[in-house]
Structure 1
Amino acid sequence: MAIESSSDHDDAAAVVRAKRRIAALEQEVEVLRASNKRVKPQIDSNVHKGRAIRRLVSLFDGLEDLIAENDRREELLDSLDLPDQLVSTQDEDRTIRSFNELLRCLPWLKKKLSSDVDELDYILRDLRKGADSARGDDTANLKHVIVAWLTELFHPLDPPLHTNIKDDRGFIHHITGKLLCPVEYTWSLNLTKEKIRDRDPDFLVTAYSWPAMLYLDYTFDSGNIEKGLFRSALLLKAFKHIFTSPSSAKEVDGDGDGADAIVASQRRRSSESDMTTRSHLRFSLSNVNSWQSIDGDFDYYVFYNNIVDFFEVAPGIDAQARIKELLKWWNRKVFGKTRAIPLTPAQLGRFSVSRMTSQRAVHEGGSP
């Protein structure tokens, strides 16, 4: 009888281990193959990042225009003795603020602006592609869902609105017409409806009037035009649908009590998003079927800039304080009362835990 040596035993064990390892590797390969079949190709990262531009930076301005304005300013500042000597128009100031917001959203882009021109062209192309696709998606989505919101808020709609076409909206329908009507005019009067539909020179609908869709209960106080502005339930629904989730739009609990003057967010928080929402909301109520900046006498570009300037070019301390106060209201309405609220050191010092720590230090003979 042959006796198995320890060497033969070790070799056999090594072979068995190798077979187990091979079997495990083959199983891993099969798992990877199966998962690759299920996973869709990833969207290009720059295209994906570009989707934020039309929502958070600027609804209309081209990326090249923002960069060109920054380059122009840099060159002028290099030729001036003092930065205060720089003179610019309101449009130029608005553009540079959008450029600065672009860098806050995409901080890595600043370094790319100083890199190879060809590489930058590819980056801007992808960002632009993502930006424009986001705007198209937002307008298309609101086109359908807004009919359900109008039915909920103004039930019953007579005649009902179609979800797939917009030909029956705008000033043709009495509800969408009411929401689009400038607050200077009284939509409930038949004469007003006739004059607006006929584009009477005394009843033009332009971007220099606030439409009723932005107001609490869709009415305004001529003695205090800011009262209730940007507080409509429809606006809240549109904002939440785009920026939080479509289902969250169902959670809007009303327009508030009307005590605040206006509701808006400062840029870098939600204001740019909100401005974008208002433009998209008006477009979805209109009977225009494809996105364009001009709708009859109404210029969306002017409308958008008027809103930007309203929030970002506050005339004084009182207006700034109102915006800050209303920002709290807006955040509460959008994100709810359960969200975490950052505490300042001064606030923390008033609470019992911090006060106890100071008291204990005093009792031990130390400083608080």
Structure 2
Amino acid sequence: MAFPIRSVTDPLVHHGRHFGRTVHAFCNIRTLINNGILRLGELADQPDESFSAEERREHKIFTALLQSVAGLEERLLTGSEEETGFIAELLRKGASGARGDDTKSLKGAILDWITPKGQALNPPLARNVKVDRGFHHERTGALLCPTDLDWSNPETKEQLKSGELLVSGDRWPVFLYAGCSFDSEEPWNGLLRNPLLICAFKHVFTSPSSVDKEPKATRSGNARIHGMRSVTAGSIAYIATQVRFALCSSPVFSRTDMVTDSERFFSSILELLEDPREAREVHDLYVWWNR
């Protein structure tokens, strides 16, 4: 059966954009859908405990996808394998396109937010070239420095700059914390409350011009289009990942880039925010974001 060629404005592309920004930025959507269909069909009678933690996590993402797109479940269960692939590709296209758009627009905007008021970065950083960012620059290096390292230590700074010290995605940078201050005895203090994250969230979900004006992060723009009234674990992890990438020196956003290790970084934040043992702290964090 042949399907009509649809334009990039197909509603599924728009849903894919929102899914990538608010639910999961890195999952393989085709695999997610194929496994999800199995769970709804021939594996429907299997008890939840028979699936691994990773499989349960994946199915939770699939369920979120179904809930975000009206009629999608019926289309997937009744459609052909070809149509399922077509649907997955449109969603993937949307998620990938949104990520690319956000990466591009944040590249320059981030410099405005990290430059102290009334001052200039020294040395200056180009808005369109990232080679001098990351650990090569005092300002971006200080923000990206992992909480377990001391940026003021010249030896540490040199090792980070040279690449002798590689930072994996699960070693969190100080910019995730309010005031860039990490308290090892109270690790939730200020976590995911840095103004940089708020600026980036508004830039992506409201509009670039709202960063200095709009008090509520989810009031208009992309957030309102999709009926988004509060932050999600996925949206916070996504914004943190985008900010981290904007600060680093890597030119191309890639899930498999072992230098930036973006996928592991994203997943580590998502796992914390979805950990039932952290429910109270996460609730307080959401209240703070949605205030």
Under TM normalisation by the shorter chain, which class is it?
Answer: 0.7 to 0.9
Alignment match, 2:288: 329
Q: Deviations along 1:33-73, whole A, 9 cap, x unmatched?
A: xxxxxxxx993332233221211221011221211332343
Q: 1:104 and 2:104 equivalent?
A: no
Task: Say if 2:250 and 2:260, in contact at 8 Å, map to a contact too.
Answer: no
Alignment match, 1:122: 86
TM-score norm. by structure 1 comes to 0.68
Q: 1:174 and 2:141 equivalent?
A: no
Task: Say if 2:30 and 2:85, in contact at 8 Å, map to a contact too.
Answer: no
Task: Say if 1:101 and 1:268, in contact at 8 Å, map to a contact too.
Answer: no
Alpha carbons of 1:252 and 1:179: their partners in 2 closer, same or farther (altered >3 Å)? Answer: farther
**How many Å separate the matches in 2 of 1:224 and 1:128?**
39
Deviation at 1:298, TM superposition (A): 4.1
Alpha carbons of 1:46 and 1:68: their partners in 2 closer, same or farther (altered >3 Å)? Answer: closer
Q: 1:165 and 2:129 equivalent?
A: yes
Where relative contact order (Cα < 8 A, 6+ residues apart) is larger, the structure is: 2
Alignment match, 2:209: 247
Which 5+ residue runs of structure 1 have no aligned equivalent?
A: 1-40, 254-266, 333-368
- 1:208-227 counterparts in 2 under 5 A? 208-227=170-189
Q: Deviations along 1:244-280, whole A, 9 cap, x unmatched?
A: 1112212488xxxxxxxxxxxxx97422111111111
Task: Say if 1:56 and 1:272, in contact at 8 Å, map to a contact too.
Answer: yes
Kindly provide the amino acid, as one letter, of the partner of residue 231 in structure 1. Answer: R
Q: CA RMSD in A?
A: 2.3
Q: Deviations along 1:102-123, whole A, 9 cap, x unmatched?
A: 1121131111111221333333
Alignment match, 1:11: none
Q: Deviations along 1:149-177, whole A, 9 cap, x unmatched?
A: 11246933111111011111010001101
- 1:65-80 counterparts in 2 under 5 A? 65-74=31-40, 75-78=42-45, 80=46
Alignment match, 1:280: 242
Task: Say if 1:236 and 1:252, in contact at 8 Å, map to a contact too.
Answer: no
Which 5+ residue runs of structure 2 have no aligned equivalent?
A: 1-6, 216-228
Deviation at 1:96, TM superposition (A): 1.2
Kindly provide the amino acid, as one letter, of the partner of residue 64 in structure 1. Answer: R
**How many Å separate the matches in 2 of 1:198 and 1:153?**
30
Alpha carbons of 1:139 and 1:328: their partners in 2 closer, same or farther (altered >3 Å)? Answer: same
Larger Rg computed on CA atoms? 1
> What is the aligned-residue identity percentage?
38
Kindly provide the amino acid, as one letter, of the partner of residue 69 in structure 2. Answer: L
Q: 1:313 and 2:279 equivalent?
A: no
Alignment match, 2:224: none
TM-score norm. by structure 2 comes to 0.85
Task: Say if 1:237 and 1:252, in contact at 8 Å, map to a contact too.
Answer: no
**How many Å separate the matches in 2 of 1:247 and 1:224?**
35
**How many Å separate the matches in 2 of 1:136 and 1:248?**
20
Alignment match, 1:60: 26
